[in-house]
């Protein structure tokens, strides 16, 4: 019998009918569904398969764990083999779920910046009818995308459809898709930065991506560039971002991620007019649960049949 534990919370649950679909795969499956606010340690100790975000300090006690599937695309603290009791645990993520909602969030931030929508929202509150003439076009601009997985490629498709030139940065070279104008390798980051009117960060948090954007990189950029970070807060050296924003080295930033999170009340980012902040919600969607479950269900079928799983995380690369 395969023992499965699903740990739900306020942003993750199984969709309607999911339990029946799991049971159809194998009548010998034992499924436990529990809220993260409850004491799930006894169930965690018994589980062979876990779907959710178990507390990392408890994972070591999961003595029967063979496969952990995360509801997120980011793996962060789970991509550390030292937190597991056994070194052959499979770790998979939900990459492929979040591209569309995050792309919409990216363009929401860009358009809010370009069309002064944040300022107009404040003006409405003050009943102030005041036109703002400093407007930026998105069409005919250049969009640079750091990271070209599901999220980066989805952003690229939409940017191209809206008439932008699209540049992408990748660790390894691939054939250039029709919706990308040029692919740069990591060593050519400076070239991409110099060309971009918009810089979109979609990279995972790894030792190699930490602090990839700092003072030197800001000074290579156009002073009109708008940066959107939906990857991880650690991608940008935050104190140097604040310096760049205050000194108008760049025109603004849309941040869905910060370092740390939640953003402390004394952070200067709260007070900067050229910053749009959202609390790590770019991936939220009312249809996420269904898409996450489809990935898990397909992987569960493969697991039961002894086949290769999708979205396996490389512990060395941290993604």
The answer to whether residues 191 and 221 touch, using CB atoms and an 8 Å cutoff, is no
Catalytic (active site) residue 280: yes
Catalytic (active site) residue 217: no
| Upstream peptide bond of 124 is cis (omega within 30 degrees of 0) | no
Strands 252-255 and 275-277: parallel
Sequence-ordered list of residues with C-beta below 8 angstroms from that of 62, at least 6 positions apart, any chain: 44, 45, 47, 50, 54, 84, 85
Active-site residue among 115, 280, 291, 301? 280
Measured between alpha carbons, how far is residue 51 from residues 4, 63, 72 in Å? 8, 16, 10
Active-site residue among 105, 113, 158, 232? 232
User: What are the residue ranges of helices labelled H in the chain?
Assistant: 18-25, 41-46, 56-59, 99-114, 117-125, 150-161, 189-195, 215-220, 238-246, 288-304
The answer to whether residues 206 and 231 touch, using CB atoms and an 8 Å cutoff, is no
Catalytic (active site) residue 232: yes
Q: By 3-state DSSP, what share of the chain in percent is helix, strand and coil, each rounded to 5?
A: 35, 20, 50
User: Could you give the residue numbers annotated as active site?
Assistant: 232, 261, 280
């Amino acid at each position: 019998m395969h023992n499965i534990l699903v740990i739900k919370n306020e942003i993750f649950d199984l969709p309607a009918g999911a339990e029946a679909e799991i049971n159809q795969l194998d009548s010998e499956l034992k499924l436990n569904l529990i809220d993260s606010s409850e004491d799930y340690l006894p169930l965690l100790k018994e589980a062979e398969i876990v779907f959710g975000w178990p507390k990392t300090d408890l994972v070591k006690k999961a003595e029967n764990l063979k496969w952990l599937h995360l509801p997120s695309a980011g793996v962060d603290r789970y991509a550390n083999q030292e937190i597991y009791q056994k070194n052959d645990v499979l770790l998979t993520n939900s990459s492929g779920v979040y591209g569309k909602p995050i792309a919409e969030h990216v363009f929401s931030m860009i358009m809010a910046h370009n069309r002064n929508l944040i300022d107009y929202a404040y003006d409405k509150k003050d009943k102030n009818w005041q036109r703002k003439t400093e407007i930026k076009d998105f069409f005919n601009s250049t969009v640079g995308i750091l990271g070209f997985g599901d999220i980066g490629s989805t952003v690229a498709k939409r940017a191209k459809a809206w008439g932008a030139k699209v540049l992408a940065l990748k660790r390894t070279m691939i054939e250039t898709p029709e919706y990308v104008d040029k692919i740069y390798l990591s060593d050519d980051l400076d070239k991409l930065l110099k060309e971009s009117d918009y810089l979109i960060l979609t990279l995972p948090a790894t030792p190699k991506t930490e602090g990839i954007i700092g003072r030197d990189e800001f000074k290579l950029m156009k002073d009109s560039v708008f940066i959107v970070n939906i990857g991880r807060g650690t991608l940008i050296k935050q104190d140097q971002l604040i310096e760049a924003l205050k000194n108008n080295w760049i025109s603004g930033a849309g941040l869905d991620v910060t370092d740390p999170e939640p953003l402390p009340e004394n952070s200067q980012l709260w007070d900067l007019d050229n910053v749009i902040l959202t609390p790590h919600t770019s991936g939220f969607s009312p249809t996420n649960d269904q898409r996450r479950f489809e990935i898990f269900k397909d992987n569960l079928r493969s697991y039961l049949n002894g086949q290769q799983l999708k979205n396996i995380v490389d512990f060395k690369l941290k993604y």
